[in-house]
Amino acid sequence: MDLIADHARLGLFLVLSMIAAALTGCGGGSSSSAGPPSSLSASTGGSSSSTGTLSSLVALSSTQYAAAPSSNAVLTIYRTGSPVGLATVGYATVDGSATAGVDYVATSGSVTWGDGDSFPRTVIVPVLSHAGDKSFAVALTDVEGEADFGTPAAATVEVIAIASVPGGSDTLASSFASGDDPTINSVTLSWLAPNENTNGTALTNLAGYNIYYGTNAASLTQKISVYTVGMPTYVISNLYAGTWYFAVTSINAWGVESSRSAVVSATI
């Protein structure tokens, strides 16, 4: 789906620049401005090595991340260059169109690498259920030890609304066909492909579907992923005698999954 960017990025860039400088001194803070920029500079607090130059750089793995409502935004921090010596970098979330405490959980802290360590570190920011089509930023705030800021030192986290539900009970249909072996039968499922997101915008990056099925309508424990978006139909074979239940979801290019359609059944 298209990401929603209804905030003033230039104005927020200026706000975030001031916040990053403030965070260097206090280790936290937030902004009520409209939205985060794709990158943010921050002053370093790192110390120099014995040779007079810093041996490594720390940076986020991307300028932009995505998360769904009621999930976690997962960001990665890399240490590149020579891993000699200790290195610590602080981080903090900054409000954009998403507000801490309402749309996501304000998160700050630091990660440390020991001498010889360059393994990536992970930062997790919980995203709340109200945050669809909003964004916030995560900024690296200060560096200590044998390291300095690399690029990027800040990133935007876009909270994207889930893809629209691909039909309900009237659009997901099933039909039964028996084979020569009475224990091996098939059910043909068909549904209507979604064409817009839950926020009403056009769905332009539909990537596929997940089919969930099982013999208990409340527990569809089996799953098939289908990546042919132009043919919203699928045949499930090798089903044993009994009543089977089915539901389908859509998936966008970000890997975000819609809620399930209404459950349909077929008796073999």
User: Torsions phi, psi of 91, nearest 5?
Assistant: -145, 160
Contacts of residue 187, Cβ cutoff 8 Å, sequence gap at least 6: 174, 175, 176, 177, 235, 236, 239, 244, 246, 266, 268
Alpha carbon distance 251, 207 (integer Å)? 6
Let me know how many helices (H) and strands (E) the chain has, helices first.
Answer: 1, 16
Domain finish residue from 115, 137, 159: 159
Same domain, 119 and 183: no
Alpha carbon distance 64, 75 (integer Å)? 9
**DSSP string over 205-246:** -EEEEEEEEESBTTB--EEEEE--TT--EEEEEEEPSSEEEE
CB 162 within 8 A of CB 206: no
Same domain, 90 and 215: no
102 to 40, 154, 160, 229: CA distances (angstroms): 24, 22, 16, 35
Question: The domain that contains 260 carries what CATH number?
Answer: 2.60.40.10
Give pLDDT, residue 20.
36
Q: Is residue 3 part of a domain?
A: no
Nearest to 64 by CA among 14, 11, 9, 26: 9
Same domain, 135 and 194: no
- Into how many domains does the chain fold? 2
Give pLDDT, residue 199.
73
Same domain, 153 and 61: yes
Q: Is residue 212 part of a domain?
A: yes
Give pLDDT, residue 266.
86
CB 172 within 8 A of CB 220: no
Q: What is the pLDDT along the chain (268 residues), one digit of tens a residue?
A: 333 333 333 233 323 333 333 333 333 333 332 233 322 323 233 333 333 456 799 999 999 888 878 888 899 999 999 999 999 999 999 999 999 999 999 999 999 999 999 999 999 999 998 777 789 999 999 999 999 999 999 999 988 776 665 544 345 666 655 444 544 578 888 888 888 877 777 888 888 889 999 999 999 999 999 988 877 888 888 888 889 999 898 888 877 888 888 888 888 8
Q: Is residue 2 part of a domain?
A: no
E strand map for 38-162: 56-60, 64-67, 72-81, 87-95, 108-113, 121-126, 134-145, 148-149, 154-159
Same domain, 154 and 37: yes
Give pLDDT, residue 206.
87
Same domain, 75 and 37: yes
Q: Is residue 177 part of a domain?
A: yes
Give pLDDT, residue 165.
53
Could you tell me the two tokens for 220?
């569809």
Nearest to 215 by CA among 239, 238, 237, 235: 239
Domain finish residue from 100, 127, 159: 159
Q: What is the DSSP letter of 19?
A: H
Same domain, 119 and 231: no
Contacts of residue 251, Cβ cutoff 8 Å, sequence gap at least 6: 163, 206, 207, 208, 209, 210, 225, 257, 258
pLDDT tens digits, one per residue of 86-131: 999 999 999 999 999 999 999 999 999 999 999 999 999 999 987 7
Same domain, 33 and 151: yes
CB 145 within 8 A of CB 47: yes
Same domain, 125 and 147: yes
Give pLDDT, residue 228.
82
Same domain, 76 and 181: no
Which residues span the domain enclosing 78?
Answer: 9-159
CB 55 within 8 A of CB 82: yes
pLDDT tens digits, one per residue of 179-192: 445 445 788 888 88
